[in-house]
A and B are shown apart, each in its own frame.
Chain A
């Protein structure tokens, strides 16, 4: 599908997602409660068949933390960016997509490790790189007086 067809399809199927044409890819912003359903639909519908989670990353904004999913379909060669916002920075938890794209398991552990986003129903949400009592170093408000020189 082209980006226009994707956009038409998704706005008809999911009225509460925001759809925006980015520089290169179509970007959809999904409410956190619908995340798992939308992900399932994107993967399992034959016309969409987003079977490849290219990248899962977290972004720290002043009021919330956003998690960004880059999706590709190896069948139809179309591409989509899905974004979801957590409620706020303290209580940042969203549903896992591990059961939809198994590769998300380690990606989500990394986002948890560096940004502190909790993924509900994740099978093994432990720190990936850092020690247990480390903070979440990629958050903007992370302070480390010993190792980081404030500027």
Chain B
């Protein structure tokens, strides 16, 4: 790659290029390349525990078409997926399953909590013997999308936020430069 310029990648997201003197230029470039690749091919797991999953399907269908943002295919196995969209409430019987699915996804992995149920236990069921009060009691969540259910546009916005988050990641630098 050499000492490359911004133009090669056609992206203006090189946040750390000018921060440090010398030394790390190639490595930061690699970061940008890796993040660019990762951010544009985040494959969700086919996972839906309740009504929000219907909205998730609508986002996957042609009108809203999440493939435009690289959220290409919903994978039916966690080993091929990059993230989970928790669309629906998680109950105590489901929680160990969700944890196991999350553990089976290869790093880097991301989680979007979609809808009031996944964010906080839900609009109707929060005071219940069976519902986990927010999926973040079980696995770490990157993006929270409120709504019951959230509009497809809200989920698309969450996708874009997640891409922004991925593009800020430092994969190589943190061990070399303080």
Contact = CB atoms under 8 A, between A and B. Distances in A.
A148 B127 contact: yes
A137 B131 CA distance: 12
B129 A137 contact: yes
Contact of B93 (A129, A142, A148, A149): A129
A137 B127 contact: no
A108 B133 CA distance: 29
Contacts of A149: 127
Interface in A52-108: none
A151 B128 CA distance: 12
A142, A148, A151: which has the most chain B beta carbons within 10 Å?
A148
A137 B127 CA distance: 12
Interface residues of B, number: 8
A144 B93 contact: no
Nearest to A138: B129
A106 B12 CA distance: 60
A129 B129 CA distance: 13
A151 B127 CA distance: 10
Contacts of B128: 147-148
A43 B173 CA distance: 76
Nearest to A143: B129
Contacts of B133: 147
Interface in A115-151: 129-130, 137, 142, 144, 147-149, 151
A137 B133 CA distance: 17
B55 to A, nearest CB: 26
A13 B127 CA distance: 47
Nearest to B133: A147
B170 to A, nearest CB: 40
Contacts of B93: 129-130
A110 to B, nearest CB: 14
Contacts of B131: 147
A129 B133 CA distance: 19
Contacts of A130: 93
A149 B121 CA distance: 13
Contacts of A148: 127-129
B130 interface: yes
17 contacts: A129-B93, A130-B93, A137-B129, A137-B130, A142-B129, A144-B129, A147-B92, A147-B128, A147-B129, A147-B130, A147-B131, A147-B133, A148-B127, A148-B128, A148-B129, A149-B127, A151-B127
Interface of B: 92-93, 127-131, 133
Interface of A: 129-130, 137, 142, 144, 147-149, 151
Given A137-B129, A147-B131, 15 more contacts: A129-B93, A130-B93, A137-B130, A142-B129, A144-B129, A147-B92, A147-B128, A147-B129, A147-B130, A147-B133, A148-B127, A148-B128, A148-B129, A149-B127, A151-B127
